[in-house]
Structure 1
Amino acid sequence: MTLFTTLQQFVPQQQLSKVAGRLAASRHPVVKRVFIRSFAKAYNVHLDDYERQSFKAYESFNDFFTRELKDDARTIDSTTNGIVSPADGVISQLGQIQNHKLLQAKGRHYDVGQLLADSEDGSYFADGSFATVYLAPSNYHRVHMPFAGTLTKTRYVPGALFSVNTTTAANIPDLFARNERLVCMFDTQYGKAAVVMVGAMIVAGIETVATGKINRTDDIQEASHNMSLAKGDELGRFYLGSTAVVVLPKAAKADWQDNMTANASVQMGQLLGKSHMKVNANTVNTDEKNASPTNDDKET
């Protein structure tokens, strides 16, 4: 285990996150300017792809960190039965779920039921497939739909706030099943599917279009929803560091692209792979942008 990962176990993670959250939300002109400028310089952030192209246009560091793309900055791949990346970032791992286990890093696996914080859901995804995308600090930090579906449930799971970079993933057992996370469950043409938004060190919050910003508690929070989302629609966003895990059932018969391997860079909307499931001819194709979130579904 490295010194970096060892030290993380002694850092007061939740307290550090709260302090960072208050500073990141500050609209004080000096605080936000120092944070935004320092961060942009440290991580070489440019605004060419973003709607607001001046650092002065952002009301707080959080506003800057969750900055929105230009409408034409990303293309949502239109391959039939295609599964696209939910975010800009790097493929951490992807592949098949074997013996209820997902690959975290070389030599390390973790249980899908623990990731979802529900053993019944975990059993459903046995022998399914997964893709894990790590969002670096410089990346676009909104998460989008990798497939079309209806959001039926969210499950907030309190936990640790370890870093989710490759070094930590290689050294901390069950990392993604130990960290704070928000499990989003969907009904899709493949059956049930999930997108898990995993928090990390100094993460100041997780938000979805259905829930708003999640209020942290010491207990698991579940909420029911009925929100239709097209492939590529925004699902949620992170306030500082993050990882998104896409989980598909065995029935989807997902076949990942040959160029989608660990450490491959991806952009939101880029094709990760394709489902070879035979879909009934009468099934409505919801990939088209014909469904939008309803305001009355919001919960806080």
Structure 2
Amino acid sequence: MTVKGLISTFTQQEDINFLLTNRIPRAAITRFMGWFSKIENPIVRDFSIACWRLFSDLDLSEAKKTEFRSLHDCFTRELKPGLRPFDPDPATVASPSDGIVGAFGRIADTELFQVKGAPYSLLDLLGDPQLVEQHRNGRFITLRLTSSMYHRFHAPHDARIERVTLIHGDTWNVNPIALKRVERLFCKNERAVIRSRLRTGEALTLVPVAAILVASIRLHFLDLTLNAQTRGPTVFPCDVEVRKGEELGWFEHGSTIIILAPGDFEFGGNVREGLRVRAGELLMRRPSRDAL
């Protein structure tokens, strides 16, 4: 077995994985990673990317650049043009990012799941009773981004972004092992609530959730980078029209996006837990073919 295979086998042991990624000073490690990843030194950069390859399935063949200034520059890489076309059907919600489908389904009144048998509430996630009412009995889907994936995320539908709320919190790992062991994990971690409306007036909300080693969430339309060091206001009113596929921002390292959609949307026939999707691929469709 190769060294990479031995490392993979070792870290797949649930107890070991949980200890290595959670029973450590998560906030301090995350701050350190945010600083370290931005060091623009060829030796540091090359060593870091080599280690990253050893621990993951990193593939840079789709990257627009062939050389990177730093590990951070590699994390937040752009792709070659045309590699993530977005489903053009106006009756669909596309995946905002590359990711692995986690829990999904109908929101039971105001309750949804991080994994089977592990519920959490919309109010705990969003912190806004008015927004909770707009998503009561709606649909949700969770996408997990691994460290090696393309880390930028895009508008899943034509919409108007009205507000972003930063909710400070922890940086638990968001992998399936942690989700089984830490109750209401998404509601404990640092996250941004990106509140938008479709042309019909219905709410479509994205919740990017930070995790260990994720130093920040960059939002282009606000020209802001949100993280644990963000001070001052945590609610950012805005009035921004976005088109499906438009780049909204990026994660550093990897994390999770929860999409909350209207209740009359249905999931695409291929959507299932564990499915790997790419930004732009179909997630949900309104039964009517009418444009929104």
Q: Return the offset for 1:118.
A: 1.4
Counterpart in 1 of 2:30? 17
Corresponding residue number in structure 1 for 2:141: 131
Deviation at 1:7, TM superposition (A): 6.5
| Cross-structure match for 1:223 | 236
Is contact 2:163–2:237 with CA below 8 Å preserved after alignment?
yes
Change (3 A) 1:246 1:104: same
1:249 matches 2:277: no
Other-structure match for 1:93: 103
Q: CA deviation at 1:224?
A: 0.8
Q: CA deviation at 1:2?
A: 4.2
Which residue pairs with 1:150 in the alignment?
160
- Asked if 1:276 corresponds to 2:276, the answer is no
* 1:134-171 deviation digits (Å, cap 9, x = unpaired): 00111100111111111111111111111111111122
Q: Deviations over 1:87-129 (max 9, x none)?
A: 1111012111002011210111111121112122112210000
How has the CA–CA distance of structure 1 residues 162 and 264 changed in structure 2, closer, same or farther, with 3 Å as cutoff? same
The answer to whether the Cα contact below 8 Å between 2:90 and 2:157 also exists between their aligned partners in 1 is no
TM, length-normalised to structure 2 = 0.88
- How many residue pairs end up in the alignment? 276
Q: How does 1:256-271 map to 2 (within 5 A)?
A: 256-271=267-282
Distance 1:136 1:44 in 2: 10
CA contact (8 A) 1:155 1:220 kept: no
Which of 45, 52, 55 is equivalent to 1:42? Answer: 55
- State the identity as a percent: 26
RMSD over equivalenced CA pairs, Å: 2.0
Letter in 1 for 2:287: H
Name the structure 1 match of 2:169.
159
Shift, 1:189, TM fit: 2.4
Correspondent of 1:58 among 58, 64, 68: 68
Q: Please say if residues 5 and 172 of structure 1, whose CA atoms lie closer than 8 Å, have aligned partners that are also in contact.
A: no
* Per-residue deviation, residues 209-243 of structure 1 (Å, max 9, x unmatched): 12321143478700011111111111110011210
Residues 158-193 of structure 1 show CA distances to partners (whole Å, capped at 9, x for unaligned) of 111111111111221111111110110112124121
Determine helix, strand or coil for the equivalent of 1:224. strand
Q: Deviations over 1:192-218 (max 9, x none)?
A: 211010001111111111232114347
CA contact (8 A) 1:113 1:123 kept: no
Would you say 1:177 and 2:180 are equivalent positions?
no
**Matched-pair contact (CA < 8 Å) for 2:91–2:289:** no
Distance in 1 separating the partners of 2:23 and 2:233: 24
Does structure 1 residue 72 correspond to structure 2 residue 53? no
Q: TM-score, structure 1 length as denominator?
A: 0.86
Are the structure 2 counterparts of residues 7 and 39 from structure 1 closer, same or farther at C-alpha, using a change threshold of 3 Å?
Answer: closer
Residue 239 in structure 1 maps to residue 252 in structure 2: yes
Partners of 2:39 and 2:161 in 1: CA distance:
32
Say if 1:12 and 1:41 are closer, same or farther in 2 by CA, change over 3 A. closer
SS in 2 for 1:130: strand
Query: 8 Å contact 1:97–1:127 — kept in the other structure?
Result: yes
